[in-house]
A and B are shown apart, each in its own frame.
Chain A
């Protein structure tokens, strides 16, 4: 399908703007003017509508079908959340409005959203306070590292490194490094699929600023030793960080705060059903315990005695601004609506059925595929296609074959510690019929591994393209359409 710039026709217009109604003519001196041609495309509104409608048809979203992308929690995004996010009282609200005199009173509805959502998230995770400012999960991780660094600086602690399990998401070590720390990987006990406690005890010390954990882990296993791990870290005044990427498994069943975690981040676009947007925007609120509250980013939302809400900037120990305004507000708004609709029992049911769906799939697949850690899983589990790979069919081939069966593939080749990994997270939204159809497809693929592997290694056949050449892409670096190329 042509790139939009190829469709451009000189002189064509897509939007019509009002005639200038003021007598003034603004002038910009030649010295400040652009000397190059702007070269944006020139199309009619219908041209643009057809182009993007055609592009949308080459995409697969949760609304198209089953999307068991492990670790990403591709649950259904209820349409009511979109209706809430279309209200003009929110969409048309300028973020500097609170900076006007008595400006807080001009945005009471918005501040209430922030305040109430912070309180709900604090209760869900068992933390003392929450900031909604981080704009994505990894941004939450970095904020958490900054909070921990501020805490240690304030206490005069000399801390240099962060311990992170080897199965962790890549963002964990990256966030810790950008936060100014050296990173050391703690091994996973291959049998239990959980952190190697002995190794941790040997590695932790006075230099340890923090231990970052994901629980359930990326293997989908809940670590029962969690309280002990927290204890070991705290003995050295290391802070314990909870990566909430997998929070969907434990809603109403476990709260990181109760287990002693000091910092938690949540991914609203995973657990709280806000759309993933083709790669964002998400939101990564961070919750902390009391001893870290003073360091939280500003502004903070407070409720005053007269039940009005205000933004407060007067926190001298704060790490300062981590985002320009108050977080990805419209994402927070949707998450708040979602929590209100589900309520306490709805959230518990969500985690319950997410875990039920994952265990059901795992049990139905375990005879034909190797399960990386064969024990009760939480919201996701990891298969290893090691045996299939020996027959020439790799995890990527299984993923591509699933596309031809009408499904979005699972996450593949992650976690890194499992060979030929296929990480499957069905979420609670999916029905038994959908899960059964996915099992049928997987069993069919399993049979094809021996019978007709070429069907798998040549898949997908049903898509507009088949296995784009990534090496060529990196080598050629064609990352913008050249000017004058095929343009009229």
Chain B
């Protein structure tokens, strides 16, 4: 999945837009989404879906799968949100709140009206805010996020760490996959006892290989004249698109207006 999201970020149809515009748009929507009531939040979610699926041409199936992620978390936390437990089933607060309940021994289990309200608020908020984050994740390559951070004078230590981490996550996953395939081809996962042993070997090997890799990369950096700072240059070949800018600003103003009216 990591790979897929990342490669979509490089191939989507909004790639040529300046990353600053996309980031600004998503962050502004994030703030608006946080402050809005549920109907407006759903509107934002739908609008972002148009941006991601129609404009950026991210396959709808992948996007819906990604959105299913916060929904599944929400489903998991649903029981905790709506269930109530009380020792006294006749207290007024419980009677006011309970939609439906059952007495189990000394405990009274009930379904809470307040909890249900909470759950619906959490649902729309979660789905709206993750939509905003997905918009960034799917349309702005990580490299460009780092560039924007650099422009915003984020400390070099952080941007360097981020870019090195990004670069070497791939080296690491590749190493892990190689090890796993090698073990599989030698029946390393035939049954669970062997599988555990194989996994422990992978972890041990990874540590060793990471150290070895570190040494080699340190040499590689030196031979390329590393002088304590990872500075790079890149061409700016972004093109602002007026049609998108108009829609983004117009839509945002409309949503803002709706928010003010609804208050």
Are A and B co-members of a single complex?
no
List A residues at the B interface (Cβ < 8 Å): none
